[in-house]
Structure 1
Amino acid sequence: MFHSWVGRLAAVGVLLVALFGLMVAFGAITPAPALGDYPGEEELAQDYDGHVGDYVQVTGTVVGTDPVEIALEYDYTDAGERHSGTITVTVRNVETTVTDGESLQVYGTPGPDRTITAENSVSVPATNYTAMYLVSALAGLWTLWRLVCGWRLDWQTGALVRREESRRPAQALLDRVQEVLA
């Protein structure tokens, strides 16, 4: 079945339909604290008072340090109308030192007047995100380099085939263009 274009395209189609189905099915699930899925930013923005006294897990950017305040971004659709923006909450019992601009993840209990009493919190310096994106970009480029240099697309079967000898990227791209034009 996977040795022909039709079989491969059918397999890719089935996998894409399954992925879409799972994405819709799991995207429609409401928070389930029993499963470790606690209400977050969107739920607090929709109905803050309805979650007072429950456990929540939110992540926001630190906008104040005395007391600790975080800005929570939300984006949700209710009755066909899209709502997005930011709400600011005060977090009590933060045991780590935080600075403005850091990302702070908080697990705790919301109280009245937009305060959350933290049971656990983790801060992530803003520079960690820059390093993460840089390392990911370099890894992606290295993977692309290895793919272009060591593999080729067999247009007859639609399969990736290992090259007999590795090529430089420029030569591999030139060969690939010549294969397509031939």
Structure 2
Amino acid sequence: MLFALMVGLGTATPAPELGDYPAEDALAADYDRYVGESVQVTGTVTKTEPVEIAVGYEYADNGEYHSGTLTIMVQNVDKAVAEGESLQVYGTLGPDQTITAQSSVRVPAVNYTAMYIVSAIAGLWTLGRLVCGWRLNWQTWSLCRREHRLRPIQTLLGKVREVLI
């Protein structure tokens, strides 16, 4: 059942009436089909005057895998953008790789750096909690709760002592 749902939803096409607008993959597969329709794409700003974004795509067609980058010129951007920022655009698709923006959201490149730093800290914190609260039972190859929870500093000092001795 789960496999059938996965395949069925994987073949779903964009449905603007449900807020699912054609995006990067659909445009790359059949650009002319969506000219004049509302689309939503996200890409990296490569040029600011006029605004151009590089939009990555991946799709399969008749058993062939296609991937690459579309360069799309965005008209009517209502906010200042800088090269390297991510720009999400909702608007009307025009001919010759253009979109007339009705709204856009820019994400400064610094936000991605902050996201990676916070994710790394959260991952290390989770790993620390796992090591301090659980142990590996080598006989059953399973995780078992420790009877006495280790404290992170004690665990680190104990490991350092093991290496030094």
Residue 28 (structure 1) aligns with: 11
Higher percent of residues as strand: 2
Asked if structure 2 preserves the Cα contact closer than 8 Å seen for 1:145 and 1:169, the reply is: no
Instruction: Report SS of the residue matched to 1:127.
Output: helix
C-alpha displacement of 1:105: 0.4
Aligned residues between the structures:
155
Cα pair distance change 1:135/1:42, threshold 3 Å: same
Correspondence 1:60 to 2:46: no
Instruction: Report SS of the residue matched to 2:120.
Output: helix
Q: Measure the CA separation in 1 of the matches of 2:147 and 2:5.
A: 40
Q: Measure the CA separation in 2 of the matches of 1:133 and 1:21.
A: 35
C-alpha displacement of 1:81: 1.4
Greater mean alpha carbon deviation, residues 72-81 or residues 98-107: 72-81
Q: Deviations over 1:76-109 (max 9, x none)?
A: 1111112111111111111111001111000111
Cα pair distance change 1:81/1:105, threshold 3 Å: same
Q: Deviations over 1:11-59 (max 9, x none)?
A: xxxxxx84x5554443222211122211111111111111011111100
What TM-score results when the alignment is normalised by the length of structure 2? 0.82
Residue 63 (structure 2) aligns with: 80
Uncovered stretches (5+) of structure 2, i.e. residues with no partner: 160-165
What TM-score results when the alignment is normalised by the length of structure 1? 0.75
Identity of aligned residues (%): 65
Residue 123 (structure 2) aligns with: 140
Q: Measure the CA separation in 2 of the matches of 1:124 and 1:73.
A: 16
- Taking only aligned residues, the RMSD between alpha carbons, in angstroms, comes to 2.3
Q: Measure the CA separation in 1 of the matches of 2:6 and 2:117.
A: 28
Correspondence 1:152 to 2:131: no
